[in-house]
Amino acid sequence: MKNTLIKASLEAGKILKENFEGNFKISSKDVISNLVTEIDKKSEDKIIEVIKSSFPGHDIVSEEAGALYQESEFKWIIDPIDGTVNYAHSIPLTCVSIALEKNGEIIMGVVFNPISDEFFFSEKGKGSFLNDVKISVSKSAELRKSLLVTGFPYNSSSYKPDPFVVFKKFLMLDVPIRRLGSAALDLCWTACGRFEGFWEYNLNAWDVAAGFLILTEAGGKVTDFNGGKYSVYGKQILATNGLIHDQMIKVISE
């Protein structure tokens, strides 16, 4: 399964790289800013083809194709392009994200940015790696000295707590914040110590499943906004190096 996971991500990454800055069709989904490209579909088709050639009986959940259930204990969770808006605008912060779930537990994950050639991989209980070098979270223990990253959901005004109010609260503490446009990369960059913390609303399993495992295996912590148990199928994610986790919960919940 590891070989299949790696092969699928590399094959999809090749498609992303070959078409980057090219001419391709772009359309919108539920809201005008929620984009999908024909490269999303090509990448997804290749990933599913590779998985089905080795494991035809496994379940698959993918952003564009939806759910293909066959009552297997294994489920592949696929985002053929995380950071589609970036990709559509030739911004090189984009990636393929694939996770493997067994009986409800994420056991393996890859996040691959073929433009920067950064390949994040993790297997449950075996740590996390960036291009075969083991990674770990930052050791910074003070929120005010941390670098955070976040994203904003579509239709942001309908969420509670208000994403912009929370964002402003961190800014008022003079904490620097970045916005990359790819939740999978946000999690991986927190896993390798570039960021200390990440929070976001209304993500889907394919956005976070692989990154969740990569971060936790790198020594990080992931919960909902209240510090409760996290599920990749939930709608709130707070992911940190663990050392500033409670400080971030306090700011979000106040």
pLDDT in tens, 108-151: 999 999 999 999 999 999 999 999 999 999 999 999 999 999 99
Provide the pLDDT confidence category of residue 155 given band limits of 50, 70 and 90: low
Which one-letter DSSP state was computed for residue 142?
A: -
Out of 35-39, 79-83, 186-190, least confident range: 35-39
Provide the pLDDT confidence category of residue 160 given band limits of 50, 70 and 90: low
| pLDDT over threshold 70, residue 103 | yes
Residue 132: HSE in the Cβ half-sphere, 13 Å Cα cutoff: 1
Here the tokens at position 20 are: 């980057």
Closest CA to 117 of 86, 87, 95: 95
Closest CA to 182 of 206, 160, 162, 166: 206
> What residue segments make up the domains of the chain, in order of their start?
2-134, 143-253
Q: Which residues contact 113 (CB under 8 A, 6 or more apart)?
A: 13, 92, 93, 94, 95, 119, 185
79 vs 254, residue with greater confidence? 79
Please answer whether residues 9 and 99 qualify as being in contact, where contact means their C-beta atoms are separated by less than 8 angstroms. Answer: no
21 vs 60, residue with greater confidence? 60
Angle at 79 between CA 221 and CA 10, to 5 degrees: 100
The pLDDT of residue 231 is: 96
Could you tell me the fold of the domain covering 2-134?
A: Fructose-1,6-Bisphosphatase; Chain A, domain 1 (3.30.540)
| Residues 110, 95: Cα–Cα separation, whole Å | 10
Out of 34-38, 226-230, 237-241, least confident range: 34-38
| pLDDT over threshold 80, residue 33 | no
| pLDDT over threshold 80, residue 161 | no
Share of the chain above pLDDT 70, in %: 93
Mean pLDDT, range 73-94, rounded to an integer: 95
Mean pLDDT, range 95-103, rounded to an integer: 98
| pLDDT over threshold 70, residue 30 | no
| Residues 200, 81: Cα–Cα separation, whole Å | 18
Here the tokens at position 153 are: 């959901």
Mean pLDDT, range 200-205, rounded to an integer: 92
Please answer whether residues 219 and 242 qualify as being in contact, where contact means their C-beta atoms are separated by less than 8 angstroms. Answer: yes
| Residues 247, 228: Cα–Cα separation, whole Å | 15
Specify the pTM. Answer: 0.93
CATH number of 143-253: 3.40.190.80
